[in-house]
A and B are shown apart, each in its own frame.
Chain A
Amino acid sequence: MTDEARVQGEDTKALFLELAATRDTGVRDRLVTAHLGLAHQLARRYANRGEPYEDLVQVASLAIVKSVDRFDPERGVEFTTFATRTVIGELKRHFRDKGWAVRAPRRVQELYLELGKVTESLSQELGRSPTVAELATATGASEEAVLEALEAGQGYRTSSIDATDRNEETLASHIGGDDASMDTVEDRELLAPALAKLAPREQRILQLRFGQGLTQSEIAARVGISQMHVSRLLAASLERLRRSVTEAGAVERR
């Protein structure tokens, strides 16, 4: 069983209560490890915006650590909701600071850099995030130019609709719409023995696709085979898993 399945099975909230009471680093580590999948998923969602995927995973993973340290289980909010908010915030900050693989005209880049400085000073001065009008006044640019620079500055090439290889793959394969069957702990527990029966390469491809959320093209590059081949292997592996799970279910019902 994976760490994630184990932790979720034991009740995340109970573990957070234990962490709050004991500050046990072992409990903390288990909670972090159990939610690294979310970091990968979110990093994947905002990949292809000029920053290396591995860097995004690192930023997102650190945000998970931060989330575990700051989460208050008594507040009545799901940890995943709290963590998603934290991870997105950290990724946005990361893009703001480093997201400069943008193919934008120099004037837009310069304005974006200026906006970064002005936003910071105005935020301190006003005690809130400045408006577009305030930024336009402070920089002497038009509101339209401010909006243009803010759009360009974030890269805005999320991995889904904006994906460059969209002709090869459907949008669903980018946004993970076909991952639903992997979502529940029950499914994972049921799948574990079936997964173990697959060849190591098939297991790896499934892990890259569903564990790390990579696209078929990215998996192809990693594994050194064509995207079509990845597609075929995924389909065959999923079919075998489906059959194994159905057979296991039939045995259990007997």
Chain B
Amino acid sequence: MSTAGGQTATLAVDLSIPVQADLVVLARLTAATVAGRAGFGVEDIEDLRLAVEELCLSLVGGAKDGRLHLTYECEGDAITVACRYEDAGTPAGPPGQGADDLSLRILDALVDEHGRQIRDGHPSAWLCKRRSDQPA
């Protein structure tokens, strides 16, 4: 985000949602809102929405419960979204247990960088999308 003084500030937003179909909209809308405020174009926002959903899917895999914790950070012309899946009691699987080749290909196509790891014992994944065109 740009401040009145022209300095670039970091915008950070945290979101925690249950693994539930009708709540994934919140993950997408938050991404779109953060990107919209940061001046991303609608094409980039569109890609980011799809990518955030894919990120969630790649972590959740076959689970029907648990929670997704998402952190959105916007700095300069880049937005980073980190997502951690906490299951409802059963031990965490390896990172990206639900990720298949298609998920990785889709993320490759939509964002600049992405990755996955175990964080605090929980499967986690992140992505970074840079603004592809600068508003005048």
Contact = CB atoms under 8 A, between A and B. Distances in A.
Contacts of B56: 161
Contacts of B29: 147, 151
Q: How large is the interface on A (under 10, 10 to 19, 20 to 34, 35 or more residues)?
A: 35 or more
Given A131-B36, A154-B46, A183-B101, A88 B106 contact: yes
Contact of A80 (B36, B105, B110): B105
Interface in A110-161: 119, 126, 128-135, 143, 146-147, 150-151, 154, 156, 158, 160-161
Contacts of A85: 108-109
Interface stretch (A1-9, A16-24, A167-175, A238-246): A167-175
Nearest to A169: B62
Contacts of A32: none
Interface string A80-103: 110011001000100000000000
Contacts of A170: 61-64
B112 interface: no
A204 interface: no
A151 B58 CA distance: 21
Q: How large is the interface on B (under 10, 10 to 19, 20 to 34, 35 or more residues)?
A: 35 or more
A90 to B, nearest CB: 12
A132 B102 contact: no
B57 A175 contact: yes
B71 interface: no
B4 to A, nearest CB: 16
Contact of B57 (A135, A147, A160): A160
Given A143-B36, A161-B57, A175-B103, A166 B41 contact: no
B97 interface: yes
Interface in B69-105: 97-103, 105
Contacts of B128: none
A126 B132 CA distance: 14
A209 interface: no
B42 A171 contact: no
B62 A173 contact: yes
B62 A119 contact: no
B111 to A, nearest CB: 11
B36 A177 contact: no
Contacts of A164: 21
B45 interface: yes
A41 interface: yes
A156 B28 contact: yes
B24 interface: yes
A150 B41 CA distance: 12
Contacts of B24: 161-162
Contacts of B60: 161, 171
B64 A171 contact: yes
A175 B98 CA distance: 8
A160 B133 CA distance: 31
Interface string B11-52: 000000001011011001100110011011111111001100
A41 B102 contact: yes
A42 B102 contact: yes
A148 B32 CA distance: 10
Interface of A: 38, 41-42, 45, 80-81, 84-85, 88, 92, 119, 126, 128-135, 143, 146-147, 150-151, 154, 156, 158, 160-164, 166, 170-173, 175-177, 179-180, 183
Given A84-B108, A85-B109, A147-B36, 6 more contacts: A131-B41, A132-B32, A134-B135, A147-B32, A154-B46, A171-B61
